[in-house]
Amino acid sequence: MVNIPLHTGDGAGRRERILDAAHKLFRSQGYEHTGTREIAVEAGVGEGTIFYHFGSKAGVLEALSRRFSSQLLESLSAGEPMEALAFPILIDRAFDYVHRFGLHHQQLGLPLDSPELTHFMIAENEIHLAFIRSVLEAHRLSGKLRQDVDIKAAAEILLAVLAHAILTVFAYGRRDEEAAFRREVNRVAAAFLKSSI
């Protein structure tokens, strides 16, 4: 029998240790090759604690996905008011975030064609769209955008352009072209926003 050093502490602390352990193991071994027992050992908790907090390994994955989205949004806004966020700054922060932490699928230890990744990316896409809509709405309220701009459509276009550039650079190995992709995303965003003033 293996003795697992168990940590005592509050539930939030255990939950964070589980997420940290899962993140480490998913990145090093992959999601498919990591079991809840390994996560428990790495986190210093009983395996049942994982099921108590997350329900399943998929629940851990979902919580990690939400955590990464929250970190991304915090990194993008950096505590600034929405109306002060300029799109060139947001674009740079998005690229910088991926440089620091990796793409979503890399953080979760999932291949790009994974059904689990597809499920969570669809859900997280709504969070990212809501953030961009909030920025656009703040710009509209401050007079930087026309009142008749379709905020929902604008957010979808801007997110699609940014996501395409980031995936091309980081997932498909075109890092040598990153500067060109950043310029292109900025050009498209600027042209779109200029037509909306």
Q: What is the CATH number of the domain that holds 82?
A: 1.10.357.10
**Of how many residues is the chain composed?**
197
Residues 49 and 144 both lie in one domain: no
Residues 179 and 152 both lie in one domain: yes
Residues 6 or more apart from 26 whose CB is under 8 A from it?
A: 34, 61, 64, 107, 108, 109, 110
Report how far residue 186's alpha carbon sits from residue 141's, in angstroms, rounded to the nearest whole number: 22
Range of the domain at 77: 62-195
Range with lowest mean pLDDT among 24-33, 95-104, 165-174: 95-104
Smallest CA-to-CA distance from 95 within 38, 188, 196, 163 is with: 163
Report how far residue 36's alpha carbon sits from residue 9's, in angstroms, rounded to the nearest whole number: 20
Q: Is the whole-model pTM more than 0.85?
A: no
Residues 32 and 110 both lie in one domain: no
Residues 117 and 139 both lie in one domain: yes
Residues 78 and 166 both lie in one domain: yes
Residues 86 and 35 both lie in one domain: no
Question: For residue range 108-119, what is the model confidence (pLDDT) as tens digits?
Answer: 777 778 887 777
Residues 21 and 72 both lie in one domain: no
Question: For residue range 142-166, what is the model confidence (pLDDT) as tens digits?
Answer: 888 889 989 999 999 999 999 888 8
* Residue type at position 109: G
Report how far residue 187's alpha carbon sits from residue 194's, in angstroms, rounded to the nearest whole number: 10
Residues 150 and 183 both lie in one domain: yes
Confidence at residue 99, expressed as pLDDT on a 0 to 100 scale: 80
Residues 73 and 44 both lie in one domain: no
Tokens encoding 195? 């037509």
